[in-house]
Every structure is written in structure tokens, then in C-alpha cells.
Structure 1
Amino acid sequence: MSFDSSDLRRARQERERAPSSTLALRVPRWAADRQSQGVTTRPRSYTGPHRTLRLLRRACRWQRRVATFAALGYFALFLALTVEVPELMTRPAPGGLPTGLVLALLQLPVTWLAVILYEFTARRYVDPLARRVRRHARASAATEETQP
């Protein structure tokens, strides 16, 4: 017996449909009350120390992930080849060494490449952001000292 889920999919799509544009333009009552009282909110600043900190955190996370996946990905590939394709790993490589041993010896250069990649991205992307955060911190500390 076959089962056709197209009717179920269509019903689910209708339920999860985005709200109409007229509903999206309505202002909530609490916001309308604040506007009528003359309360205005300051627009969010997308520049400044908080944005720079967010960018710095994002750059550090990206940097750690890339370096980790480079090193651990190669190691996981080596382990998977060892388990799944042992005949490939025992086959002699150019130079007379088994392919598995050559791949195992290549783990050290791959790890060094991950470290070099980490250092390169740190100097290129993360360090300028850290300098900018430090500069904002110094500027805010100087303004706090001058104010009574």
C-alpha cells in the first residue's frame, strides 16, 4: 500500500502561512499607548562597542570552528578509512610505506596547517576587532573620569 502525503503537506502549509500584510502593519496596543503619551525609544545603535563585541565573539567562534574541523576532520577521515577500507590502508603507497602509515604521518602537518590557519585568521580578523574593543573601552573610561 502506498501513502500519499501531499494532502497533509498542503494542509500544513496553509496553517503555517505567513501573516497577511495588513496584520503586519498593525501596531500593538501597548506600543500605541506609549506613542500617544509621547514616549519615544532611542533607535538601536548598530555601531559602537556592543556591535564590535558581537563581531569579535562571532569571529572567535568562526576561527575556533574552522581550525577544529580542519584538524579533527582529517583525524576522523583517517579513522573512518581505517575502519571502513582496511585494504586501502594496507596497500603500499609510493615509497614502499603502507598508505595508512603515510596518512597517519600526515596528521602532524595537517595539525600544523590548522594552527597556521588559526594564527592567520586571528591576525587578519580577530586582532583588529580586539583593538577596536580596547579603544572603545579606553574612550569610555576616559569620559567617565572627566564627568563629575
Structure 2
Amino acid sequence: MSYDSTDLPRVRQRHGRIPSHTSAPRIPGWAADRQLPPGAARPRSYTGPHRNLRLLRRACRWQRRVAAFAALGYFALFLALTVEVPELMTRPAPGGLPTGLVLALLQLPVTWLAVVLYEFTARRYVDPLARRVRRHAHSSDARQEPQP
């Protein structure tokens, strides 16, 4: 393979402009601070104005995952038992009903439990973070001067 520049594909011209191979690619201002030397670890910011937003997003994600896994996990377990162990599902449970029907009827309380868990974690963890973010937003709005 040759390192001759004539082997390189031609660069397309756009709107009459001639591209330059010597100019470095422009880095947008919002990404300039993200440029790191190769192999360097990105410093983590544990403080700053967006820390509360990151914590709020993390708490909301955790909350959604736990509630979804509680409800959907039980449903998936019920389906797996129905497919893999049908003789267990047809066996009578205490009260005379088949075990499959009892497990199917338990899906409603499990879903309610997931909703209660969701509400509890929202009030305990997410709402205080949301209040902190709202309070920080109001205080930063008050510090800004009105523009004419």
C-alpha cells in the first residue's frame, strides 16, 4: 500500500467551497471541555449545579426499575411456571382452586404492591430531590438581573 496522497479519495466540494486537508476539524464550544488526551480518565464531577439533577435522574431510574421488575418479574415467573411445570399449575392449592389460578389472582396484589413501592420511594427519595432542584432553580432565577 502506498502512502501517496493521490491514492486518497477526493473530498467533495460543498457550495463552491474548497475543503482544506490542512485545517483541523472544528470542535464545538460545548464539546471543547470534553476533549481529553488518549488514555486519560474523565474526571467525575460530584459537585456543581447539575449534581442535583443527576441525582434526581438516577433516583427516578432506580424507582422505575424496581417497580417494573417487581410487577413484570412476577408475571414472567407465572408464565414460566405455566409453560415449564404445567402439572404444578393444575395441582389443587389450599382452598380447592388450582395453583395456576391462585398465582394468576395474586398478580393483582403484586401489581398493587409495586405501585405502593413506587409511591413510597417517590415520597422518600425522589420528591426531596425534586424540591431541592426546584429550590435551586428559583434561587438562581432570583439572582439573575432582569434584562431590559
TM-score, normalised with respect to structure 2 = 0.68
Structure 1: how far apart are the matches of 2:102 and 2:65? 26
- Gaps (5+ residues) in structure 1? 1-27, 29-42
Matches within 5 A, 1:2-41: none
- Aligned position for 1:90: 90
Pick closer, same or farther for the CA change 1:45–1:144 going to 2, 3 Å: farther
- Aligned position for 1:99: 99
Q: 1:47, CA displacement in angstroms?
A: 3.0
Pick closer, same or farther for the CA change 1:77–1:44 going to 2, 3 Å: closer
Pick closer, same or farther for the CA change 1:44–1:62 going to 2, 3 Å: closer
- Aligned position for 1:39: none
- Aligned position for 1:131: 131
Q: 1:147, CA displacement in angstroms?
A: 8.3
| 8 Å Cα contact 1:89/1:99 also seen in 2 | yes
Per-residue Cα deviation, 1:15-72 (whole angstroms, up to 9, x for no partner): xxxxxxxxxxxxx7xxxxxxxxxxxxxx986334300000000000000000000000
Structure 2: how far apart are the matches of 1:78 and 1:130? 36
Pick closer, same or farther for the CA change 1:73–1:58 going to 2, 3 Å: same
The percent identity for this pair of structures is 92
Moved over 6 A (4+): none
RMSD: 2.0
Structure 1: how far apart are the matches of 2:60 and 2:45? 22
Match of 1:49, SS? coil
Count of residues in correspondence between the two structures: 107
- Gaps (5+ residues) in structure 2? 1-36, 38-42
Q: 1:99, CA displacement in angstroms?
A: 0.1
| 8 Å Cα contact 1:67/1:115 also seen in 2 | yes
- Aligned position for 2:112: 112
Match of 1:47, SS? coil
- Aligned position for 2:66: 66
* Letter in structure 1 aligned against 2:145: E
- Aligned position for 1:50: 50
Higher helix share: 1
* Letter in structure 1 aligned against 2:62: W
Q: 1:100, CA displacement in angstroms?
A: 0.1
Pick closer, same or farther for the CA change 1:139–1:147 going to 2, 3 Å: farther
Match of 2:115, SS? helix
